A and B are shown apart, each in its own frame.
Chain A
Amino acid sequence: MKKLFVVIAVSGTALIASLGLVACGGGGGDTSSGGGGGQEGGILKGTYASFPDYMDPQLSYTAEGWTAMGEVYIPLLTYKHAEGAEGSEVVPGLAEDLPTISNGGKTYTLKLRPGLKYSDGAAVKASDFPYAVERAFVLSSGGSPFYTGIVGAEEFAETKKGGIPGIEANDKTGEIVINLTKPRGTFENELALMFVAPVPQSTPMEDQSATPPPGTGPYTITKSQPGKGWEYERNPYWAKANSEAMPEYPTGSIDGAKITVIRNPQSQVDDIEQGTYDWMQNPPPSSRYAEVKSKYEGSQFLVQSTISTYYFWLNTEEAPFDDVKVRQAVNYAIDSRALERIYAGQIVGTDQILPPGMPGYEKFDLYPHDLAKAKEMIKEAAPADMDITVWTDTESPNNEAGEYLNDVLQQLGFNTELKILNADNYFTVIGNATTPNLDAGWSDWFEDYPHPNDFFQPLLSGESILPTNNGNFAKISDPELNKEIETLGEERLEPDEETAYAELDKKFMEQAPWAPYGTRTLSTFVSDAIELDSIIYNPTFFEYLTSFEFK
């Protein structure tokens, strides 16, 4: 999932303008850096609070993973190297141009740029694209449901044999033709996701987190030690081949980066203050947030709004949450004002799926906090199974949010057990159908692209329930709502569709598979050696490595 710590700025257009941050993009000019006035060269020392879920482009579905690999694996299409709404614009990546759409919106034709090479020197071939799509299905990637609309993809997902007939790739001409079973309004956005970034066909059909495959971007991952950290160097074939083939893509200022996982965010803050590290990917801990903000905002620290929803999922397949009344009662019992304090003011309370800023968002308040009513509803529902396991991860304040849910469920009369897992593998564990007692827990979601379908199809549709890397933790599969997601997904986003998505939001919340509680504001904190103004926060790929510059 696009979860955890992301820094994006969808509503930060004014800020971008004031800081003069817009860099790269389609306008030519200097593509060597993010646009600041910093120096060339240097090795960035960065720190993450946890290792990404996977260091494999077809598998990773977290903010950490996409931040880590955004400048290593370039899809056929990508997002503009910019912030906010401009950064949500789909632009050509490895493809020469945006796709030609024909056959009533069911056929997408693209052409690979000539002369592209991977970081190991091998030529990029058109057939590497269908290989990447197949690899996503074979590995049961959490992102694979985006591509089940390709002709033959569903069959391939089941058999994992024989290829996907809906993708035709010609290595000689570089042409790639993708045939869909029906039109899909979000498909361009989905072609710009890292799940289908081409990789060499020699890449094994298994998780490559310890030995990430060669990529096409300006940087390559030279060393990866899951749980500990990883290192980047410049892609030797970027300067020789790829930068010429895609001149609008930035080359970056720094020579490389060394990322270390430091699980104590207090230490991370100290390290940034002392200059031991240059950048921390996750925000400061809540206990230091106010202090860091007051001391460094504007010089080393930036706060960004995000398009995200933080929520508790309730497993609709198993008792007691198979009863909609019980799920609704939990929604009444959760008080987002309490969670705003638990997050030290870093979330804004909400109790709906679509967050502010997302097309289709219409504010409603279906479950105003009412603990007495919640208790009454539980009494009426009289669930037979009162034992609940609550899941969350170790990172603060998500762990405290889990403890809060645990306490609320106890107040409703349930017997609870709290499980707090290491953040490195939290989503892998709760996304695995064989994990027992997946009753309720914490999660979050940051937009993959600016389309409300992104908050429904990967999280709440029946087809997104997967045996591994599952993203539909509530395991909700309502035939009517599934059909509605599917129908809306075929359309391009117009005002009528936005209204329909707002209605869909309400319909889902009436079913209450989640208890949403907030939209996150996040931050980036760098040492005084880094040009803060040059850093670009993209809504999809977050902080671009190419935008870091030393002063």
Chain B
Amino acid sequence: MAIDPQPEAAAVAAPTAGGERGPWSLAARRFVRNRVAVAFLVLFFLIVLFVLAAPLWADHVAHTGPNKTHTLQQLTVGGEKRDVVNVEGQPIGPQLFAADGMFFLGADSRLGRDEMVRLMYGGRTSLLIGITTALITTALAVILGLLAGYYRGWIDTVIARTLDILWSLPVLLVGIALGVTLAVGGLKIGPLELSGGSLWIPIIVICVFTVPYIARPIRGEVLSLSNKEFVEAAVAQGAGPLRVMFGEILPNLASTIIVFFTLTIANNMLFEAGLSFLGAGVQPPNSSWGTMITVGVDLLNTQPLLAIIPGTMIMLTVLSLNIVGDGLRDALDPRSKIDLEAHTGTVATKASGAAAI
């Protein structure tokens, strides 16, 4: 792996009392020193643990599934029978542990589904979509950015203009139109067949519209990197285009990609929530935090928590990913203002220069 021999980076990577440290090690140390970022990373992992525990809670505490209706069920709370949904169609509020954990956060709607179970399963869906779309869009964006930035010429023109067109579209409006169409009719392209309720429908819609937001900056960076001496050197040594792109340039994009990846998870989760709220994303009866807000809004006057809780979960997850993303950017950036000297004894670097490690 070739690393752009930036003098600043070299300074950062200089031998210290603690011995030779690589750029990744330094980045990790910088990140760990950013206590806010670490705190939110912990929060994010807690959220992941929370949603991964959904089957355990559903099977052993709530004794129900995420889509199971309990409209006519009664709970015994403090020796009293209570309707899960009363005759006026009002669902029961949070019971915490008063009913042995059943309906911990109350029922979600007139269908009497367990809000806590749906919150946990809905979180799985939201995170799954966020992470999957971030992986796909990042991979696509890197490939397109590398091809456009390295080859330039007509390949660059075609890719860049296509990205421009996608970028110019009103994302939410077109996303809703596409999402609704696919949710109703499904998708069939050759052997690929997706039903309207498939989670792949919102995943595809989100990927289509978010690729330009990563591909364009990556293309710009590749355009810059491909003029560097280390690339010329690799070409002079007989390296082919694939090796130059993936062996020389790609490693120098690592910090950018990592930062974009975390931020894209957050953005795509918000996109999914928006699409689902408007009926163009995750389809009922499946839950995501976005669909739960839609259901909750219907009962906002009487049961505001039904919308507030999933909304808060989205906010916390997106906030934690954004702060972790910012922390990573600072940690991976040699111009970082995080002073390691006080903690490590290294020479503090306030360097400026190229962004690459």
What residues of chain A have their CB less than 8 Å away from a CB belonging to chain B? 266, 285-291, 335, 337-338, 340-345, 394, 396-397, 399-400, 403-404, 406-407, 410, 417-422, 429
Contact = CB atoms under 8 A, between A and B. Distances in A.
Nearest to B68: A407
B197 A418 contact: yes
Contact of A291 (B85, B86, B184, B301): B301
Given A338-B71, A344-B89, A404-B69, A286 B110 contact: yes
Given A285-B298, A421-B184, A400 B88 contact: no
Contact of A394 (B86, B279, B300): B279
Main secondary structure of the interface of A (DSSP, over half): helix
Contact of A404 (B71, B87, B90, B279): B71
B235 interface: no
A266 to B, nearest CB: 7
Contacts of A404: 69, 71, 111
Interface string B105-149: 000011100000000000000000000000000000000000000
B284 A335 contact: no
B85 A341 contact: yes
B89 A342 contact: yes
B344 interface: no
B299 A287 contact: yes
A418 B298 CA distance: 20
B89 A418 contact: no
Contacts of B301: 287-288, 291
A399 B298 CA distance: 12
B284 A266 contact: no
Interface string B174-190: 00000010001000000
Contacts of B279: 394, 420
Main secondary structure of the interface of B (DSSP, over half): loop
Contact of B302 (A287, A341, A397, A419): A287
Contact of A407 (B85, B90, B111): B111
A403 B285 contact: yes
13 contacts: A285-B298, A286-B298, A288-B301, A289-B89, A290-B90, A341-B87, A344-B110, A396-B298, A400-B111, A403-B285, A407-B67, A419-B197, A422-B180
Contacts of B85: 341-342
A288 B285 CA distance: 23
Nearest to A265: B298
A344 B87 CA distance: 6
A290 B283 CA distance: 29
Contacts of A420: 279, 283-284
B71 A341 contact: yes
Given A286-B110, A341-B89, A342-B111, 13 more contacts: A266-B298, A287-B300, A287-B301, A290-B88, A338-B71, A341-B72, A341-B87, A344-B110, A400-B110, A403-B111, A403-B284, A407-B69, A410-B67
Contacts of B285: 403, 406-407, 418
Contact of B71 (A288, A342, A399, A406): A342
A341 B110 contact: yes
A547 B92 CA distance: 42
Interface string B68-103: 110110000000000001111110000000000000
A420 B196 CA distance: 10
B195 interface: yes
A243 to B, nearest CB: 45
Given A394-B279, A407-B285, A419-B184, A341 B86 contact: yes
Contact of B72 (A290, A335, A400, A419): A335
Contacts of B109: 400
A417 B89 contact: no
B297 interface: yes
B283 A418 contact: yes
Nearest to A291: B301
Interface string B264-292: 00000000000000010001110000000
B36 to A, nearest CB: 38
Contacts of A285: 298
Contacts of B68: 407
B281 to A, nearest CB: 12
A287 B298 contact: yes
A301 to B, nearest CB: 16
| Residue of B72, B86, B111 with most chain A CB atoms under a 10 A cut-off | B111
A274 to B, nearest CB: 15
A287 B196 CA distance: 28
| Residue of A287, A289, A418 with most chain B CB atoms under a 10 A cut-off | A287
A399 B295 CA distance: 11
A465 to B, nearest CB: 23
Contacts of B86: 341
Nearest to A392: B284
A417 B72 contact: no
| Residue of B88, B180, B300 with most chain A CB atoms under a 10 A cut-off | B88
Contacts of B297: 266
Nearest to A394: B279
Nearest to B279: A394
A338 B69 CA distance: 10
Nearest to B302: A287
Contacts of A289: 88-89
Contact of A338 (B72, B90, B184): B72
A223 B180 CA distance: 27
Interface in B48-72: 67-69, 71-72
A3 to B, nearest CB: 19
Contacts of B195: 417
| Residue of B72, B110, B180 with most chain A CB atoms under a 10 A cut-off | B110
Contact of A345 (B89, B111, B197): B89
A291 B285 CA distance: 27
A19 B147 CA distance: 77
A300 B68 CA distance: 38
Contacts of B72: 335, 337-338, 341
Top 3 nearest A-B pairs (CB, nearest first) are A344-B89, A338-B71, A342-B110
Nearest to B196: A419
A289 to B, nearest CB: 8
A397 B110 contact: yes
Contacts of B88: 289-290, 344-345
Contacts of B71: 338, 341-342, 404
